[in-house]
């Protein structure tokens, strides 16, 4: 069945097919259809979310799906029930698919082997966030016309970033080039074999400058001396925008730490795609839900 656990190993054709189907939905902005009428999908978020959770819900409702929203904080998880027993419970009630976000790494694969209904990864630990990368590729393809040959620099907290990993696998599958830029303590050593780490000056020459949120909640110790220090060394400042080629665009998966990894003035700048990325999350998730249920 059609789980979507990650983009590692997915070929360029399958990625393009999902983007094409999202383009179809973007061109057919009918608020609500009945394409998947009668289907039930549970959104199971064991970790907080705004964009992913609500864009899945909008996508499901636009497809005519009956939506069950599960929030761990208001569930029997608080009594110690496991992730497996929770998902198995919803499956036993007859859901047709589950969208799931998890804090730990390595749990989703095992879960998917024991659950019959398709599971869609809405972010698991620092492993993958496939629908985020798909909406990112969709945004880039729409802006530049094609992905092959594009240079994407991903800057910031690579170590904790499932967004960086999913983008790396997907971008390389479609023939784009990826570079990373991060302070030593935010590098992911296991990714060094897949993409080079470059300096900030080098990263700013890319066609796409993708900034990542400094994930304060996942760092044990203070990240640097201060947020100002991080901004000075790795932030996309108004001054650094001047180093980017005129055709280059700014991206960020959000939520944004304004004036830490990106200056306040750049979040809604003409060159920024940050809110466009959020809009594109809806048609991408419509395509992904359809793929899971068809």
Residues lying near ligand CP in the complex (CB under 6 A) are found at: 49-53, 123, 132, 253-255
Minimum CB separation of residue 281 from ligand CP in Å reads 8
Distance of alpha carbon 96 from the chain centroid: 23
Question: Of 166 and 179, which has the nearer Cβ to ligand CP?
Answer: 166
Rounded-to-integer distance, Cα 94 and Cα 89, Å: 9
Annotated ligand binding at 176? The verdict is no
Annotated ligand binding at 28? The verdict is no
Annotated ligand binding at 254? The verdict is yes
Closest of 135, 137, 138, 139 to residue 123, by C-alpha: 135
Rounded-to-integer distance, Cα 101 and Cα 45, Å: 5
Please state the φ and ψ torsions of residue 83, each to the nearest 5 degrees: -60, -45
Minimum CB separation of residue 24 from ligand CP in Å reads 23
Annotated ligand binding at 114? The verdict is no
H or E element: which one contains 109? Answer: helix 107-114
Complete DSSP assignment for 73-95 = GGSGGGGT--HHHHHHHHHHTT-
Question: Of 61 and 205, which has the nearer Cβ to ligand CP?
Answer: 61
Question: Of 86 and 161, which has the nearer Cβ to ligand CP?
Answer: 161
Annotated ligand binding at 213? The verdict is yes
Question: Of 53 and 62, which has the nearer Cβ to ligand CP?
Answer: 53
Record the tokens describing residue 86, joined without a space.
């929770």
Helix (H, G, I), strand (E, B) or coil at 160: coil
Minimum CB separation of residue 163 from ligand CP in Å reads 7
Minimum CB separation of residue 199 from ligand CP in Å reads 26
Binding site per annotation, positions: 51-52, 79, 101, 129, 132, 162, 213, 254-255
Binding site per annotation, positions for L-aspartate: 79, 162, 213
């Amino acid at each position: 069945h059609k789980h979507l656990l990650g983009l590692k190993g997915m070929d360029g054709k399958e990625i393009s097919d999902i983007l094409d189907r999202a383009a179809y939905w973007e061109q057919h902005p009918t608020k609500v259809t009945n394409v998947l009428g009668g289907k039930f999908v549970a959104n199971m978020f064991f970790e907080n979310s705004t964009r992913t959770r609500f864009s899945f819900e909008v996508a499901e409702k636009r497809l005519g799906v009956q939506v069950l929203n599960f929030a761990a904080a208001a569930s029997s998880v608080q009594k110690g029930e496991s992730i497996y027993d929770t998902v198995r419970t919803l499956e036993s009630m007859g859901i047709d698919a589950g969208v799931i976000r998890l804090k730990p790494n390595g749990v989703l694969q095992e879960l998917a082997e024991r659950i019959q209904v398709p599971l869609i990864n809405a972010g698991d630990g620092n492993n993958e966030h496939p629908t985020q990368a798909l909406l990112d590729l969709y945004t880039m393809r729409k802006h530049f016309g094609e992905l092959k040959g594009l240079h994407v620099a991903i800057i910031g907290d690579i170590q904790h970033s499932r967004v960086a990993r999913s983008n790396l696998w997907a971008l390389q599958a479609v023939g784009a080039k990826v570079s990373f830029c991060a302070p030593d303590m935010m590098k992911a050593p296991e990714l060094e074999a897949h993409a080079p780490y470059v300096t900030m000056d080098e990263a700013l020459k890319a066609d796409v400058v993708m900034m990542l949120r400094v994930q304060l909640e996942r760092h044990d110790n203070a990240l640097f001396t201060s947020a100002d220090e991080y901004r000075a060394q790795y932030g996309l400042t108004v001054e650094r925008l001047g180093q980017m080629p005129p055709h280059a665009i700014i991206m960020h998966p959000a939520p944004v730490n304004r004036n830490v990894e990106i200056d306040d003035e750049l979040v809604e700048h003409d060159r920024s795609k940050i809110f466009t990325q959020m809009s594109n999350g809806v048609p991408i998730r419509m395509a992904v839900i359809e793929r899971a249920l068809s």
